[in-house]
Amino acid sequence: MPQLSINGQSYFTDSPPDSPLLWVIREDLRLTGTKFGCGGGYCGSCTVHINGQPVRSCQVKLGDVDSNTVITTIEGLDPSDAHPVQRAWIEHEVPQCGYCQSGQIMQAAALLAANPNPTTAEIVQHMNGNLCRCATYSRMVTAIHRAAQLAREA
Amino acid sequence: MGDMKTPRQGMTRRDFLVRSTVVAGSGFLSIGLPGLIAAKDAQAAGTPAFTPSIWFTMTPDGKTTMHIVKAEMGQHIGTGLAQVIADELEVKWADVRLDTPLESVANFAVYGLAYTVNSGSITTEFDRIARAGAAGRIALIEAGAKVLGADAGDCIAKESRVIVKSTGKSVTYGEILQKVTIDRKFAYPNDFKGIALKSRDQYSLIGKSVASLDIPAKTNGKAKYGIDVFLPNMAYGALVIPRTRYSSKVVSIDDSEAKKIPGFIKAVKIEEALGKCTGWVVAVADKYPTAMKAAKALKVKYDAGPYAALDTPTLLAQYKDLAKNEKESAAWVLEGDVDKGLSEAEKTLEMEYTTDMICHATMEPLNCTVQMTNGEWHVHIGTQSTSFARMTLTGYLATVLKKKPEDLKVFVHQYLVGGGFGGKQDYDDILAAAWCVKEVGRPVKLIHTRESNFATSFARTPTYHKLKAGIRDGKLVAMNQDIVCGWMGARFGVGKKYGSDWLQLDSVDGRNQDIDQWSIGGSDHWYEVKNHRVRAWNHETTTWAVQASALRTVSNSYNIFVVESFMDEVAHAAGRDPLEFRLAMLNGKGGNRGIPNSGYAPGTPSDYYMDRLWISLPWASENSWPNYESATVGGALRLANCLRVAAGKAGWGTRRLPPNTGLGIAVTAAEERQSPTWVAGIAEVTVDPATGSYSINKLTIAMDPGIVVNPKNVDAQIRGSALWGASQIMSERLTLKNGGFEQSNYHQYQPIRLAQVPEIDVTIIASDHHPSGVGEPASTIVAPAVANAIFNAVGARVRHMPISPDAVLEAMKKAKA
Ligand code: FES
Ligand code: FES
């Protein structure tokens, strides 16, 4: 039975190796914060971190990862749900329906990990693959700048 | 007032009862309807969690739970409604909680129609819930005065406390509930009218950007949407994409390949009924990836049905032909004598406009989970109407199982909605899942793939418009708009022809024709035009073939594009500035001054909107709620004010613009004439004359929605809806080919992305008037403002939505020729 390491915990799944990681995470392991939007790599709702990189989990097969792969989902981004991006998201009330937001937050957190002080142009480039049908875009940009500031203050 | 011993006989259904019941030694204060509470008293005795109230329940620990039947789909409506109640109730905001009642036959009789649509939640609930909150406060003050040995007239309520003004002594709401039993009646209608609502300067929560209660869970993965439901022993369903959008029939299913997939359970041909789920086959499996794989492996043969060859160009050609047949039309607006006005004009203008289909494409695809247990059907879903979900499933099961509706027990559990926009008020999925449950004997979670979600979209109809204007002395003296499109109401039984007069209007030309205002609204604009006529034709094939439906702002979404583009054309033809031209006609004269109150006026649309739909059961069956101010008060003058603000802030007529750059104007009073939200917008657009591609640099928007309950949320709604509008003019396009939609995923159907987002300058003009909806109107003005800006930038008039770079290039060529 394949073993996975997600958010520092071990999980087992009986899904076949060609299953998209997204569905294993959501439906087998019930970490439902990671969302299904398109299944084709177009929307970013399913974004998780794999070895620190933002990855569309709908495009990764279960067989492509193993217990040495470090997988982080929205549930494990911060032990008390207080990652600077999450705090900034609440402060600026970014989410509307909220469905895309786990993916947005994971994508934004990966940006700040690599680039602690991004310009607006860098933010736009990095976030452009994440769709938000409620179009919460402008607050996201503001909140990412704010998160960068919160991280610096910490 | 204040008689706590009033016997319960003689109460009407609309009396308020404010009572506390003793439950396990502690009192609950609830506010609700008499019949309900009386019937449930017995139950209450042993059930501490019992909450008999319709609007809220207060417990002795001081916590107050607001019962919200409106769907939470991005507008933070629970917070907004709770702010209104809490303000009048004078309860501490930190003590406020929200919950959502289960949808059932019994709860429907209490809460009425649970339906979130038309940006109507605040508009229609505001007065009622404010009175409910105030009634609670009055009862608590009276009871608190007793506890304190004071005169109620000497007491006020503040922050969950009753305070004696003269002595400063006070008691908390929680302590009051522990000490006395409240049994206070507010009789309808006199006691209701006697409830003095706060004036605006007394508000403590209304008008404040309190943090929305649904937001934290949406940042950490804890928020629960319909798709996040798990039930024991649950199987998964994935839909095989039907041959056409509608009306295919399954001829045969070959499951030989699917059977080789481990975990595949069954190919279920969904029993069709009520015109739903036509040609649907669902692959059921133990896991969702397996179900998706099996759905692809199933070989289904179809009889492709009557729409098998239909495509968008054919529809538009048919519309144009249909518009030639005046006899088939129904008039919706008829003022003055349009033909005479046109014949007396010095100059006439005649233009054709068309619009393509778009679809909701919510980020959460349609899904639901259905369980049958102990003879009860339980539906778990995030939906705009749990009531319609229940009713539709009940009707379906009654038909396919040959049972009496009253013998069926159907319950709908509401979850967060991952985007609605009008796209989550159809229930084929529930029926299909229920049929799968029957076939496999397990709970089933049916999830659309993005591809099957697009293939079964409920589309905004394509439209064709012919407009004529008569200009005299530089003024618009006559205007005719002819509209041909699918009428979405037909699918919901709107219209005599479809066997129901529910929400149906008659044409105003005396010919007693059906009018579906949801397909025409927006053409009834607020400009003073002495001779004005709008005629509409129903292209019924469209209604069924594309399953025409409501999308954010419904018909305003195309009509405002057409009307406001055309207004600019008329202004230019009359040699006038589009701003000055509009302001002159937004003079608030005659019918454009608005009506004073919301009162019931038989035969008018307010009859339909206020009484039949929004003020739903149990209020609907009786005549009317006490009148409150209509959102139309002030009329077109409020729209003119917004226009002045937006134009001023955008620097209309005062700025030197970069090359190939233009400003464009548009205004709207969406959603309905009875519930207008006044909005004006200016778009600044730069066009690349070599390619025709364009970018929106900036949107300047001014909105007057009356009283603003939560400014930060209103701001979010304006921005989101403005970008929805930008998206539909720039890139969204759904097309029909061979009876099916051509676009399968977000690489072909493209909502706006971050890189396309312009700067947005929002001004909220919070006026003292009755609040109106904010979630939709701003989405209508962006498309015409952009079209008008493109014209002002490079002289290209594009009369089709969306506007492609090719269309801009072509229009530029035409303009030069
Ligand atoms: S669900 Fe993976 S990118 Fe859309
Ligand atoms: S918040 Fe609704 S899709 Fe992004």
Tell me the pLDDT band of B47, cut-offs 50, 70 and 90.
Answer: very low
A75 Cα to chain B: minimum distance (Å)? 6
Contact A130 B230 (CB under 8 A): no
The pLDDT value recorded for residue B813 is: 97
For chain B, give me the number of helices (H) and strands (E)? 21, 34
User: Which tokens in the block code for residue B402?
Assistant: 């040959």
The pLDDT value recorded for residue B188 is: 62
- Rounded to 5 degrees, what angle do the CA atoms B16, B19, B25 make? 165
Q: Is B447 on the interface with A (CB under 8 A)?
A: yes
The pLDDT value recorded for residue B553 is: 93
The pLDDT value recorded for residue B502 is: 60
Question: Which residues does chain A have within 8 Å of residue B449's beta carbon, measured at their own beta carbons?
Answer: 39
B363 Cα to chain A: minimum distance (Å)? 5
Interface of A with B in 49-68 (CB under 8 A): none
Structure-model confidence comparison of residues B611 and A88, the more confident one:
A88
Tell me the pLDDT band of B181, cut-offs 50, 70 and 90.
Answer: confident
How far apart are the C-alpha atoms of B254 and B305, rounded to whole Å? Answer: 20
User: What is the percent of chain B with per-residue pLDDT over 70, rounded to a whole number?
Assistant: 88
Name the residue of chain B whose CA is nearest to A28's CA.
B287
DSSP B408-432: -EEEEEE-B-S--TT-S---HHHHH
DSSP B128-145: HHHHHHHHHHHHHHHHHH
Does the pLDDT at position B277 exceed 50? yes
Average the pLDDT over each of B245-254, B321-330, B626-635, B705-714 and give the range with the smallest value. Answer: B626-635
Instruction: Choose among B299, B302, B285, B301: nearest CA to B238.
Output: B285
The shortest CB-CB distance from B449 to any of A39, A75, A138 is to A39
* CB A97 near ligand 2, within 6 Å: yes
In terms of phi and psi (left: phi > 0; alpha: psi -120 to 50; beta: otherwise), the region of B473 is: left
Does the pLDDT at position B225 exceed 90? yes
B557 Cα to chain A: minimum distance (Å)? 16
Instruction: Choose among B327, B345, B328: nearest CA to B336.
Output: B345
Does the pLDDT at position B760 exceed 50? yes
Does the pLDDT at position B191 exceed 80? no
The pLDDT value recorded for residue B110 is: 72
Does the pLDDT at position B625 exceed 70? no
Instruction: Choose among B119, B193, B203, B33: nearest CA to B775.
Output: B119
Residue of A136, A139, A141 best suited for mutating to test ligand 2, as the one with most atoms within 8 Å of CB? A136
Express each pLDDT in B718-732 by its tens digit. Answer: 999 999 999 999 999
Does the pLDDT at position B781 exceed 80? yes
The pLDDT value recorded for residue B7 is: 28
Average pLDDT for residues B792-812, to the nearest whole number? Answer: 98
Average pLDDT for residues B361-368, to the nearest whole number? Answer: 98
Does the pLDDT at position B493 exceed 90? no
Average the pLDDT over each of B14-23, B405-414, B743-752, B763-772 and give the range with the smallest value. Answer: B14-23
The pLDDT value recorded for residue B803 is: 98
Express each pLDDT in B428-438 by its tens digit. Answer: 999 999 999 99
Q: Is B527 on the interface with A (CB under 8 A)?
A: no
Contact B418 A97 (CB under 8 A): yes
How far apart are the C-alpha atoms of A44 and A126, rounded to whole Å? Answer: 11
Tell me the pLDDT band of B36, cut-offs 50, 70 and 90.
Answer: very low
The shortest CB-CB distance from B719 to any of A19, A23, A135 is to A135
Average pLDDT for residues B216-237, to the nearest whole number? Answer: 98
Average pLDDT for residues B478-484, to the nearest whole number? Answer: 98
Q: What is the torsion angle, in degrees rounded to the nearest 10, for the CA atoms of residue A67, residue A69, residue A73 and residue A78?
A: 100
The pLDDT value recorded for residue B631 is: 83
Average pLDDT for residues B488-510, to the nearest whole number? Answer: 75
The pLDDT value recorded for residue B506 is: 75
What is the H or E stretch that residue A109 is in?
helix A101-114
Average pLDDT for residues A93-100, to the nearest whole number? Answer: 98
Tell me the pLDDT band of B339, cut-offs 50, 70 and 90.
Answer: very high
Tell me the pLDDT band of B597, cut-offs 50, 70 and 90.
Answer: low
Contact assessment for residue B682 and residue B127, using Cβ atoms and an 8 Å cutoff:
no
Average pLDDT, chain B: 89
Tell me the pLDDT band of B25, cut-offs 50, 70 and 90.
Answer: very low
User: What is the percent of chain B with per-residue pLDDT over 90, rounded to a whole number?
Assistant: 74
* CB A98 near ligand 2, within 6 Å: yes
The pLDDT value recorded for residue B642 is: 98
Rounded to two decimals, the pTM is 0.94
Structure-model confidence comparison of residues B625 and B266, the more confident one:
B266
Average pLDDT for residues B653-659, to the nearest whole number? Answer: 96
* CB A130 near ligand 1, within 6 Å: no
* CB A39 near ligand 1, within 6 Å: yes
Contact assessment for residue B784 and residue B663, using Cβ atoms and an 8 Å cutoff:
no
Average pLDDT for residues B376-397, to the nearest whole number? Answer: 96
Q: What is the ipTM of this complex?
A: 0.99
For chain A, give me the number of helices (H) and strands (E)? 5, 5
The pLDDT value recorded for residue B184 is: 80
Contact A86 B220 (CB under 8 A): yes
The pLDDT value recorded for residue B550 is: 92
The pLDDT value recorded for residue B53 is: 53
The pLDDT value recorded for residue B9 is: 35
Average pLDDT for residues A32-58, to the nearest whole number? Answer: 98
CA of B317 to the centre of ligand 2 (A): 37
